[in-house]
Structure formats: structure tokens, C-alpha cells
Amino acid sequence: VISESFTPRVMKSWGLDYLSVKSMVPDVIYFSTCLMGQYGPHNNYAGFGQLAGAMAGFYEITGWPDRGPAGPYGAYSDFVNPPIAFGSIVAALDYRDRHGIGQHIDLSQYEGAMHFLAPHIMKYNEDGSILGRKGNEDDRMYPHGIFPCLNKKRSLTSTKESWVAIAIESEYQWAEFSKILRLPESILSQNLAERKSNRDEIDLLISKWTSQYDSRYIMNLLQTHKIPSGMVQSQSDMWEDPHLDHLDFFQWLEHTEIGPMPYDGLQFQLSETPGKLTRAQAMVGEDNKEILTEILSMRSSEVQTLLNEGVLEQSF
């Protein structure tokens, strides 16, 4: 399997495009993924996940109604396309196992991301409605938002603001939530539509309550009442997260320049071969000598010459 993410012209200019490789390896599975795909008037447009996310429509629907598009976090299409890539490669491998034939896989980041807005695209075709920006609001839930909590001092930072996310999915949860906050009967008895129309007053009542307490306390309290809630954690909060602490998630390793540094642990555990981190992030060129002398059998003098001539880069 060959995987590449250049625009179509690049691999062809090197003589490594699918047809060229296929002439040498007839059953090759050649996976290509770029912003716009291999064909079409825009196929040579280069870009990153933020651009594909914007072109696919995610930026237009993310943010607040009275402000410009905010966009989802990060390079969105880079997050949603790997499962599609995985499935397509596995399917191609299965086909080759059964028929002995390889193939070219063309995954457009733009098209792959747009797939996740399919319901709203279909809705537009049905009745012409266009999904707009609506902040944290949800069509079927209220309250549904982020609320301020008591500012707290973190172990690694000074006192900072704190927030908690709350999502009421059912009338039962609303009743439980109202009891905890001791909301007046006139508010407690409102149905979803009434609560939505009265959201400014209710949001204010919720914020007055949440601002008195620590965000982790609120999360634990609401969770015990089966109300979906989660503290909005900063990086410093994660150091104090009891679940991550129980998993011994953060691991300290010796960095060449900085000394002891914390690193995220493994995201999964294998029962028979659990694995662990063994090395800190390398400096630029830190492993040059090991790779060139021990693996490629170059002499130390040759490596030094390459360093002196600027062929190799080293940051320490």
C-alpha cells in the first residue's frame, strides 16, 4: 500500500503517480488524499484541514448568530477523514486478497468532510431551509450551554475563570435540575418550547447558581442526578483530573535540552503488550548519528562532514 497526500501534479512530476507505480507493481493499492481530490477543475488547489472544513460548510454554521463564522476547532477535515481512509484501504486489501487486483483510492478531504453535513444538505433540498449559526443552542435540548463557575486556583497556574457544560435532555432531568437550583414553580413548570422562549431569564438564574460553586463539584453533583454535565477543563485542570491520575496518564521523560518534561501517555492499552513511552521528543537532528552510523553504516567522519557542509541539520 502506498499513501500520499500531495496535489495530483506532485507525484506525477516525480514519476511516482498511480499509473507509473502500477506499471512496476501491478497489484499496488495506491491511496491518494488531498484537499479537492484527483480530478475536476479545482483538483490542484492545495490546502489544509481548516480550508476543507470551511469549503464543506462547517465554518458557516459554527459560531454565534450575531457574529461572523468561528469555525470548529482545528483542521476539521483531518479529524473526520481518517475513518473513511481506513475503511477504503481495508476494502481494497480485501478485494486484492480475493481477486489479486490492486486499485487507486481517491479521497477528497473536501468531499469526505461534506458527508458529515448530509442531513442539512438534504434538508435544504427538501424545503430550502439553511442551517445557521446558533452558538450552543440545540433544537431538542434546553438548558444546553456553558455556564460560569467559581474561579479557582490551579496547581500550575494562578486563579483562572472556570466553566461547566450542562445539557438537559428530558423533562425528568429538567425537574431534577430545577429542584437542585430551587427554581420557582413558574419556571419549573415550563416545557421545552417555553423554556427556549424564556432562555435569557433562565440562563441568568443558572449562571447565578453555578458561579457560587467549583466546576468539578457541579459536574459531580449533576452527574449523580443523571444530568449530563462536564467541567470545562484547562490543561492545568487535567493535571488534577482524578481519572487521569488513576490511569497514570501523564508520564515524565528526560528531554535533552529542557530536562524532565511531562508527556501524554498512550491512548489505548493492550492487555498482553501494554507498552509505554521510552523517549522524550527528540531535538532536530538528535538521532542523525545513530541512524547514519548504526543503520546506514556510514563512518563518523562522513557524518561530521555532512554536518559541517550544512547537509544535515542539528539544533543542539
Phi, psi for residue 4 in degrees, rounded to 5: -145, 155
Per-residue pLDDT, averaged over 104-112, amounts to 95
Structure confidence by residue, pLDDT tens digits, 276-314:
899 898 999 999 999 999 999 999 999 999 999 999 988
Does residue 174 sit in the same domain as residue 119?
A: no
* Structural domain contains residue 314: no
Per-residue pLDDT, averaged over 11-27, amounts to 96
Domain end residue (candidates: 239, 267, 301): 239
* Structural domain contains residue 39: yes
Inform me whether the pLDDT recorded for 316 exceeds 80: no
User: Count of alpha carbons within 13 Å of 223, Cβ hemisphere only?
Assistant: 11
Q: Where are the beta strands (DSSP E) in 154-235?
A: 159-167, 229-231
* Structural domain contains residue 32: yes
Domain harbouring 106, CATH code: 3.40.50.10540
Residue 261: the pLDDT is 87
Domain harbouring 182, CATH code: 3.30.1540.10
* Structural domain contains residue 310: no
Does residue 115 sit in the same domain as residue 169?
A: no
* Structural domain contains residue 296: no
Does residue 178 sit in the same domain as residue 123?
A: no
* Structural domain contains residue 271: no
What is the domain range of residue 169? Answer: 144-239
Does residue 68 sit in the same domain as residue 22?
A: yes
Domain end residue (candidates: 193, 224, 239): 239
Residue 91: the pLDDT is 98
Does residue 21 sit in the same domain as residue 119?
A: yes
* Structural domain contains residue 287: no
% of the chain exceeding 90 in pLDDT: 78
Instruction: Give 24-61 as a DSSP string.
Output: HSTT--EEEEESS-SSSTTTT----HHHHHHHTTTTTT
Q: What CA–CA distances, in Å, run from 120 to 61, 207, 214, 238?
A: 11, 32, 38, 35
Q: How far does CA 60 lie from the centroid of its chain?
A: 19
Structure confidence by residue, pLDDT tens digits, 240-273:
889 998 988 998 999 988 899 889 988 888 999 9
Per-residue pLDDT, averaged over 155-183, amounts to 90
d(CA 205, CA 212): 12
Q: How many domains does the chain have?
A: 2
Inform me whether the pLDDT recorded for 99 exceeds 70: yes
Whether residue 215 contacts residue 162, with contact meaning beta carbons closer than 8 Å, is answered with yes
Helix 171-181 × helix 199-210 angle, to 10°? 50
Domain end residue (candidates: 221, 239, 257): 239
Which letter does DSSP use for residue 282 in this model?
P
d(CA 153, CA 149): 12
* Structural domain contains residue 59: yes
Does residue 96 sit in the same domain as residue 164?
A: no
Where b means 16+ CB within 10 Å and e means fewer, 72-87 reads: beeebbbebbeebbee
Q: How far does CA 312 lie from the centroid of its chain?
A: 34
| Residue corresponding to grid cell 546506514 | 296
**The dihedral of CA 31, 34, 40, 45: what is its sign?**
negative
Strand partners, 166: 145, 229
Residue 243: the pLDDT is 92
